[in-house]
Amino acid sequence: MSKPAEEKSYSAPGRVCLYGEHQDYLKLVVIPAAVDLRTTITLQKNQSNKIKIKSHELEKTHEFTVMRDLPLAFNDFDYFRAIIKVLFEEKKINEIPGFDISISSDIPIGSGLSSSAALLVAWLTALDDQLNLNLTKLEIADIAFKAENQVLGVNCGIMDQYSSSLGGIFSLDCNGPPYNTKSFTSNFDSIIIGDSCIRRSANKPLTILKNQINKGFEKIKQESDFKLATLTFDELENFKSILTEDEFRRLFGVITIRNITLQARNELSKKSQDIELLGELLTKQQDMLRDYLEVSIPMLDKLVKESINVGALGGKLTGAGLGGCMIALAPGKEEKIAKAINAAGGKATICKIDYDGAK
Ligand code: GLA
């Protein structure tokens, strides 16, 4: 009898988006921070050609036979199939053995903390090691993005997969590939996350906004060769008459968040950072997300407001919006802010920045 295969664990972190919400799919700059909430995959090769998965959080199991041209099952486990499909398509593998897999996660699903990217990245990190694929962390991010965007049809950008794979705080210029990244060492090491406990599929706000923004911007491009990366407020104002009110508001929000993100990138690049300014820039973004992109909800607004009332330097929703979580920046006052978030009906978690990424 051959020896049973060794059991090994692999994990990847969730993330918050500090600056640049709804900018990645527009090829603009984003600044995510990976946090110490992780999805862990424990697996061992089995003697079959079947992948057998058990999810602790979902209390569900799923099993499928591995093959080329693997169909999707349209269930919660399609993330596993999507990665395998991209690996075959990109000729990174010719075959794949069976595995017994168990998943556990402390990233709440559908909460804006990138639970899906963490699962994709953890699974791909596991396959990279088990099959000796020698993928770099950037390649892992790219493949995970293809799986989520092209195979699973989510209208996301590249921020979540890059953040989960690389870890840390960095700016990512989404105008690629290749995508430019610049890592920062921030003057703060914790973030308070406030969960509204309202779940939604991120694809809804992503699809609505992406369509509105692109429709508006297409109209502008027909008139002249503008780029979202450089469009000014005066130029946008000149096109007001050809845009619907919603299109104008969305584009105004997008270019304001673009400018806030560039200002934050500049501040984070400094050795000694103005932490109050970094806080203010979070709140300015939240105002745009609430009033111009219209993806906030009253509970998230309330959690941001209550956090600031008791001393946070700033806060915003994180992720696509319409539910999920907010974040607050309050170095040294984390406990106080967490209490206020809980008292306001949210669920607070104090997170450390994760500098490991997938492992
Ligand atoms: C989701 C997507 C990301 C990004 C954010 C909004 O989390 O997966 O790519 O678009 O929404 O900033």
Specify the pTM. Answer: 0.96
- Exposure string of 126-151, with b = 16+ CB inside 10 Å and e = fewer, is bbbebeebebebebbbbbbbbbbbeb
CA angle 260, 262, 264 (to 5 degrees): 70
> In what helix (H) or strand (E) does residue 145 lie, and over which residues does it extend?
helix 137-146
From 23, 111, 154, 159, mutation site for ligand 1 pocket: most ligand atoms within 8 A of C-beta = 159
- Domains along the sequence of the chain with CATH: 8-186 (3.30.230.10), 191-352 (3.30.70.890)
The three-state secondary structure class of 126 is helix
Compute the distance from residue 96 Cα to the ligand 1 centre, in Å.
Answer: 31
Compute, in angstroms, the gap from residue 202 CA to the centroid of ligand 1.
7
Identify the sign of the CA torsion 154, 158, 160, 161: positive
How far, in Å, is the centroid of ligand 1 from the Cα of 4? Answer: 41
Q: Name the residue with the closest Cα to ligand 1, atom 8.
A: 156
Query: Tokens 């209490």 — which residue?
Result: 339
Ligand 1 pocket test target in 15, 23, 160, 254 with most atoms within 8 Å of CB: 160
CA distance 337 to 327: 10
Contact 101, 32 (CB under 8 A): no
Chain-centroid distance of CA 147 in Å reads 14
Is residue 31 within 8 Å of 265, Cβ to Cβ? yes
How far apart are the CA of 113 and the centre of ligand 1, in A?
10
Query: Cβ contacts of residue 271 below 8 Å, gap of 6+?
Result: none
Picking from 160, 212, 205, the residue whose alpha carbon sits closest to that of residue 297 is 205
Q: Give the separation between CA 194 and CA 250, rounded to whole angstroms.
A: 25
Q: What is the pLDDT along the chain (359 residues), one digit of tens a residue?
A: 567 788 999 999 999 999 999 999 999 999 999 999 999 999 999 999 999 999 999 999 999 999 888 999 999 999 999 999 999 999 999 999 999 999 999 999 989 999 999 999 999 999 999 999 999 999 999 999 999 999 999 999 999 999 999 999 999 999 999 999 999 998 899 999 999 999 888 888 899 999 999 999 999 998 888 999 999 999 999 999 999 999 999 999 999 999 999 999 999 999 999 999 999 999 999 999 999 999 999 999 999 999 999 999 999 999 999 999 999 999 999 999 999 999 999 999 999 999 999 99
Structure tokens at 286: 């939240």
